[in-house]
Structure 1
Amino acid sequence: MFKLIFTLGGFFFLGLPGLVIGFIVGSVIDRMFGGGVHVQTIINNRPQVSPADFELNLLSLCSIVIKADGTVNQNELQYVRNYFIATYGKDKANAIFRTFNEVVKDRLVSAPRICAFLNQRTRYEVRLQLLHFLFGIANADGSISDAELQKIREIAGFLRVYPRDFESIMAMFVKSTNNAYKILEIPPESSDSEVKSAYRKMVKKYHPDKVITDDTAIKKGAEEKFKQVQMAYEQIQQERGM
Structure 2
Amino acid sequence: MLKWLFAILGSVFYKIPGGIAGFFIGSLLDNLVGSKANKSRGSVFNDMTRQSVSPADFEMQLISLCSIVIKADGKVSKTELDYVRQYFVQTYGKEKANAIFRTFNEVNKKHEISAKRICYYLNQRVRYEVRLQLVHFLFGIAQADGSVTAAEVEVIRDIAAYFKLGKRDYESVKAMFVASADTAYKILEIDKSATDDEVKKAYRSMAKKYHPDKVVTQNEAIKKGAEEKFKEVQKAYETIQKERGIS
Band the TM-score falls in, shorter-chain normalisation = 0.7 to 0.9
Q: Which residue of 2 aligns with 1:30?
A: none
Q: Say whether 1:57 aligns with 2:58.
A: no
| Distance in 1 (alpha carbons) for counterparts of 2:140 and 2:171 | 15
**Is the CA contact (8 Å cut-off) linking 2:176 and 2:232 kept in structure 1?**
yes
Distance 1:40 1:204, change over 3 A: farther
Structure possessing the higher radius of gyration over alpha carbons: 1
Q: Write out per-residue CA displacement over residues 180-214 of structure 1, whole angstroms, 9 at most, x where no aligned residue.
A: 00000000111110001101111121111111111
> Which of 191, 209, 213 does residue 205 from structure 1 map onto?
209
**Counterpart amino acid of 1:58?**
L
> Which of 116, 119, 122 does residue 115 from structure 1 map onto?
119
**Is the CA contact (8 Å cut-off) linking 1:55 and 1:215 kept in structure 2?**
no
| C-alpha deviation, 1:65, in angstroms | 0.5
| Distance in 2 (alpha carbons) for counterparts of 1:72 and 1:101 | 17
Distance 1:93 1:140, change over 3 A: farther
State the TM-score, normalized to the length of structure 2: 0.75
Q: Say whether 1:144 aligns with 2:148.
A: yes
| Distance in 1 (alpha carbons) for counterparts of 2:85 and 2:47 | 38
Percent identical pairs in the alignment equals 57
Q: Which residue of 1 aligns with 2:132?
A: 128
Q: Which residue of 2 aligns with 1:96?
A: 97
| C-alpha deviation, 1:241, in angstroms | 1.1
| Distance in 2 (alpha carbons) for counterparts of 1:102 and 1:174 | 33
Unaligned runs of 5+ residues in structure 1 are 1-32
Q: Write out per-residue CA displacement over residues 84-125 of structure 1, whole angstroms, 9 at most, x where no aligned residue.
A: 45x53xx72564255346536445111111101100001101
User: After superposition, where does 1:93-242 map in structure 2 within 5 Å?
Assistant: 95-96=96-97, 99-100=100-101, 103=104, 105-106=108-109, 107-242=111-246
Q: Write out per-residue CA displacement over residues 143-164 of structure 1, whole angstroms, 9 at most, x where no aligned residue.
A: 1111111100010111001111
Look up the SS of the partner of 1:121 in the other structure.
coil
Number of positions where the alignment pairs a residue of Structure 1 with one of Structure 2: 204
**Counterpart amino acid of 1:92?**
G
Distance 1:56 1:186, change over 3 A: same
| Distance in 1 (alpha carbons) for counterparts of 2:97 and 2:232 | 27
Look up the SS of the partner of 1:186 in the other structure.
coil
**Is the CA contact (8 Å cut-off) linking 2:51 and 2:127 kept in structure 1?**
no
| Distance in 1 (alpha carbons) for counterparts of 2:176 and 2:77 | 26
Distance 1:71 1:102, change over 3 A: farther
**Counterpart amino acid of 1:231?**
K
**Is the CA contact (8 Å cut-off) linking 1:131 and 1:156 kept in structure 2?**
yes
Distance 1:47 1:182, change over 3 A: closer
State the TM-score, normalized to the length of structure 1: 0.76
| Distance in 1 (alpha carbons) for counterparts of 2:101 and 2:232 | 28
Distance 1:73 1:236, change over 3 A: closer
| C-alpha deviation, 1:135, in angstroms | 0.4
| C-alpha deviation, 1:216, in angstroms | 0.7
